Amino acid sequence: MNMRKAVAAGSATLSYQGKSYELPTYAGTEGPHVLDIRKLYGEADVFTYDPGFTSTASCESDITFIDGERGVLLYRGYSIDDLAEHSNFLEVCYLLLYGKLPDRAQMDCFDKSITRHTMVHEQLASFFHGFRRDAHPMAIMCGVVGALSAFYHDSTDINDPRQREIASHRLIAKIPTIAAMAYKYSMGQPFVYPLNNLGYTENFLRMTFAVPAEDYKVNPVLAKALDTIFTLHADHEQNASTSTVRLAGSSGANPFACIAAGIACLWGPAHGGANEAALKMLEEIGTTGRIPEYIKRAKDPNDNFRLMGFGHRVYKNYDPRAKAMQAQAHAVFDELGIHDEPLLKVALELERIALQDDYFVSKKLYPNIDFYSGITLRALGFPTSMFTALFALARTVGWIAQWMEMIEDPDQKIGRPRQLYTGAKRRDYLPIEAR
Ligand code: SDX
């Protein structure tokens, strides 16, 4: 069977019910090799079992590499620390989409294309008015992003590379406008149109916080911090929402519908909803004096309380994004002159205590990206309900890049996992009188 780029690395032998089966193994450029089990069911009439897919490679990918043990995250080979320090979100979008850093001409062309797609169809604004004003922004984002497929019939032919590219640029360009509109709608304020003379993140801040009654000046320090936060959230290998986008895309669904599916999955508190949950947890703890009580609850197997923003399916070391997020938190608090933010003190002390506690150390539970993002986004002026919408804004480019890679993979086919059936054996139907 074909592989896109992976190279043969020998084979493994499986002995099962008295027979031996050779399973080819393949190596990528980084990370664990894979055992190719594609023929196993046909040859041995047996499934592999891996609920949650914790030991399963669902695809080959060139986009993002994570080493959970070493706390490494690379976008197309560039470390997240380098990109957070030296790059910007729109350049990272180009990198994730096209696989390399742009030269000046390529960046200018990309920037112009994105800028010219930031407005949404006026009819799309009508979709917001069907929601209650207190609708969660993620509910609105799911609905409105899915509705984009009704507006762009010229870019839903996923087999046309140019239409795929137009759709990807439209999604990257319009997701900030839609997120800002969701916020404005919840505030009862008028929508603010994008301005083409502003950068990507500056434009988003202005669409979110400007009001017609007065001029709005973007704070460049805060804009840079938010831009870096978007970079940190841009992609993350085959996480739950990215796998959702790939599975939806594998059926041939249009890109707007696929991204709407990713938004729905990201909303969960175990995934993208953790930043909102982590801030609520810090607010509930309130003071450093109450931390031991919550540490005790988090360790209690009979209490389903978990330290939100702690632990990760892949990182069994410090999430490299959490360090960069902490740095952005300090940059924002310094710029705003918030030196005694009580929740930052609670977060720092909670992290200090947890990382000395054997329960967290033995289970390799470290702060993840969501631990510091909540207090930073709140300081930037966003309500808690917008935190996951901001995560979705940033992750849209990662979803699109992964979707494009899947569509362009000649071996891709519709995703269709099997199961281990433990239900009733065949039984005869009984009329109701006989039951
Ligand atoms: C994101 O996949 C991605 O890449 C996601 C993401 C991305 O960029 O796309 O990184 C974004 O989703 C970050 C994670 C945000 N979620 C949270 O912060 C929620 C809190 N974290 C946990 O729910 C949990 O850590 C998960 C869901 C993130 C990971 O779960 P796992 O890998 O399935 O780990 P587990 O649930 O098997 O936990 C292992 C042990 C368990 O104890 P035992 O059963 O072994 O006794 O650790 C315990 C868990 O009870 N544990 C925690 C804990 N997380 C796990 N105990 C207390 N507090 C926690 N946060």
Q: How far is the CA of 303 from the centre of ligand 1 (A)?
A: 15
- Nearest Cα residue to atom 11 of ligand 1: 271
Contacts of 185 (CB under 8 A, 6+ apart): 128, 129, 131, 133, 135, 140, 191
Residues linked to residue 107 through DSSP beta bridges, in sequence order: none
Please state the atom number of ligand 1 nearest to the C-alpha of residue 240.
2
Q: How far is the CA of 7 from the centre of ligand 1 (A)?
A: 33
Q: How far is the CA of 430 from the centre of ligand 1 (A)?
A: 46
Please state the atom number of ligand 1 nearest to the C-alpha of residue 235.
8
Active site residues: 312, 370
Q: Does residue 362 contact residue 317 with C-beta atoms inside 8 Å?
A: no
Q: State the pLDDT at residue 6.
A: 93
Distance between CA atoms of residues 145 and 157, nearest Å: 17
* pLDDT at 304 > cutoff 80: yes
- Give the whole-number percent of the chain exceeding pLDDT 90: 83
Please state the atom number of ligand 1 nearest to the C-alpha of residue 239.
2
- Nearest Cα residue to atom 36 of ligand 1: 313
Mean pLDDT score of the chain:
94
Q: State the pLDDT at residue 354.
A: 85
- Mean pLDDT of the region 326-347: 89
Q: How far is the CA of 168 from the centre of ligand 1 (A)?
A: 31
* pLDDT at 367 > cutoff 80: yes
pLDDT digits (tens, 9 = 90+) for 382-403: 999 999 999 999 999 999 999 9
From the number of C-beta atoms within 10 Å of its C-beta (0-12, 13-18, 19+), residue 410 rates as exposed
* pLDDT at 423 > cutoff 90: yes
Please state the atom number of ligand 1 nearest to the C-alpha of residue 369.
13
Out of 90-94, 116-120, 190-194, 314-318, least confident range:
314-318
Distance between CA atoms of residues 21 and 169, nearest Å: 46
Which residues form the pocket of ligand 1, taking CB atoms under 6 Å from any ligand atom? 236, 239, 270-271, 274, 298, 306-314, 363, 365, 368-370
* pLDDT at 377 > cutoff 90: yes
- Nearest Cα residue to atom 3 of ligand 1: 239
- Mean pLDDT of the region 406-426: 94
Out of 235-249, 331-345, 417-431, least confident range:
331-345
Q: How far is the CA of 435 from the centre of ligand 1 (A)?
A: 45
- Nearest Cα residue to atom 4 of ligand 1: 239
Q: Which long-range contacts (CB under 8 A, 24 or more apart) does 192-195 make?
A: 193/119, 194/115, 194/118, 194/119
Q: How far is the CA of 273 from the centre of ligand 1 (A)?
A: 13
Out of 3-7, 31-35, 283-287, 426-430, least confident range:
3-7
User: To test ligand 1's pocket by mutation, which of 355, 363, 371, 393 has the most ligand atoms within 8 angstroms of CB?
Assistant: 363
User: To test ligand 1's pocket by mutation, which of 58, 271, 364 has the most ligand atoms within 8 angstroms of CB?
Assistant: 271
User: To test ligand 1's pocket by mutation, which of 58, 232, 310 has the most ligand atoms within 8 angstroms of CB?
Assistant: 310
Neighbours of 35 (CB within 10 A): 16
* pLDDT at 153 > cutoff 90: no
- Nearest Cα residue to atom 20 of ligand 1: 308
pLDDT digits (tens, 9 = 90+) for 44-85: 999 999 999 999 999 999 999 999 999 999 999 999 999 999
Please state the atom number of ligand 1 nearest to the C-alpha of residue 371.
18
Please state the atom number of ligand 1 nearest to the C-alpha of residue 363.
47
pLDDT digits (tens, 9 = 90+) for 89-126: 999 999 999 999 999 999 999 999 999 999 999 999 99
Distance of CA 234 to the CA centre of its chain: 7
pLDDT digits (tens, 9 = 90+) for 16-48: 999 999 999 999 999 999 999 999 999 999 999
Q: How far is the CA of 219 from the centre of ligand 1 (A)?
A: 35
Contacts of 121 (CB under 8 A, 6+ apart): 151
Q: State the pLDDT at residue 427.
A: 96
Q: State the pLDDT at residue 156.
A: 75
